[in-house]
């Protein structure tokens, strides 16, 4: 069981999910937390990864390191997405095994499920059909990571579990206009509306695809919860079970962050929609006793405050 004396390595500690795991552990009194910047440890280098893990000998590993991006990045950097993600997860999972580390959580994404998967998507639906083309290389890498964990558990008796979060937002997200996910891109556009006193916003697609969103602090909570929980499943969906259209989500963010402004939402239909509907079945996580707890409007406000601080500090 994980406790405050445990040695814990967080791969990807500066990213969206990794930094939330780090904050959560730190606030809960954990002191033996190990992190390395990309400059100090190249996760593409298996020899260096193995050497580091053998040196620090952590009791637990959280793998939140990955090359991530939105529809544009996934659709234009296909080779980088599959190569880097396969490399990173292979090196970490295999090196963990070689270093004798039994407990690991591998974070994936809801994009592992088929384009035609029945909604809401259950864990058993993995590999049930073709993937959405715009993020297929990333999804294939994540599926490989899941199967790698399952295979090591079967052959070597490890306790490597895979958590599949839905669309996540929160502190330390990437806010690049072209390469970020929908939510950080939306937050950046709202900031520009507020700053430049605009009265309209343009979103990709037609606004009809349905999405489920979750605050990153809930993901961090799930990671620690399931590292402490004995489970007979190696793959568990992490989400809220609630969905809305892209247009509805945009309206929620606008009303929450700039309620005094009347903003017209326009859609660029020349840009891709992505998958039409994507919501996770979270009944398995609930059976194990975990549910998302953060109130969505407060989470949106906290994320926006953090974004403004990042903007202020970057000047």
- Annotated catalytic residues are 138
How many residues are there in the chain?
A: 315
Q: How many CA atoms lie within 13 A of 163 on its CB side?
A: 27
Q: What is the Cα–Cα distance from 234 to 162, expressed in whole angstroms?
A: 6
97 with 158: CB under 8 angstroms? yes
SS3 labels along the chain: CCCCCCCEEEECCCCHHHHHHHHHHHHCCCCCEECCCCCCCCCCCHHHHHHHHHHHCCCEEEECCCCCCCHHHHHHCHHHHHHHHHHHHHHHHHHHHHCCCCEEEEECCHHHCCCCCCCCECHHHCCCCCCCHHHHHHHHHHHHHHHHHHHHHHHHCCEEEEEEECEEECCCCCCCCCCCCHHHHHHHHHHHHHHHCCCEEEEECCCCCEECEEEHHHHHHHHHHHHCCCCCCCEEEECCCCCEEHHHHHHHHHHHHCCCCCCEEEEECCCCCCCCEECECCHHHHHCCCCCCCCHHHHHHHHHHHHHHHHHHCC
């Amino acid at each position: 069981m994980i406790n405050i004396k445990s040695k814990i390595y967080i791969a990807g500690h500066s990213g969206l999910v990794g930094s939330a795991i780090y904050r959560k552990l730190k606030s809960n009194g954990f002191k033996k937390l190990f992190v390395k910047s990309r400059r100090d440890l190249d996760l593409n280098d298996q020899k260096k990864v193995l050497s580091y893990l053998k040196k620090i000998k952590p009791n637990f590993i959280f793998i939140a390191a990955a090359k991530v991006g939105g529809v544009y990045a996934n659709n234009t950097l296909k080779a980088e997405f599959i190569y880097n993600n396969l490399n990173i997860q292979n090196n970490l999972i295999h090196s963990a095994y070689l270093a004798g580390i039994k407990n690991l959580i591998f974070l994936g994404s809801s994009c592992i499920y088929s384009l035609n998967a029945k909604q809401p998507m259950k864990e058993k639906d993995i590999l049930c059909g073709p993937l959405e083309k715009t993020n297929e290389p990333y999804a294939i890498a994540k599926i490989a990571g899941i199967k790698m964990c399952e295979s090591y558990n079967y052959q070597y008796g490890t306790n490597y579990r895979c958590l599949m979060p839905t669309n996540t937002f929160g502190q330390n997200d990437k806010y690049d206009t072209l390469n970020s996910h929908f939510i950080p891109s939306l937050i950046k556009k709202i900031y520009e509306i507020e700053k430049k006193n605009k009265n309209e916003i343009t979103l990709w697609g037609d606004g009809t695809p349905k999405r489920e969103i979750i605050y990153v602090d809930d993901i961090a909570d799930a990671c620690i919860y399931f590292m402490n929980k004995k489970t007979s499943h190696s793959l568990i969906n992490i989400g809220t079970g609630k969905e809305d259209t892209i247009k509805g989500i945009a309206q929620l963010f606008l009303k929450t962050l700039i309620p005094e402004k009347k903003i017209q939402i326009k859609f660029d239909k020349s840009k891709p929609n992505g998958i039409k509907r994507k919501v996770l079945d979270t009944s398995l996580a609930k059976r194990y006793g975990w549910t998302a707890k953060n109130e969505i409007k407060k989470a949106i406000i906290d994320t926006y405050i953090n974004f403004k601080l990042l903007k202020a500090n970057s000047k």
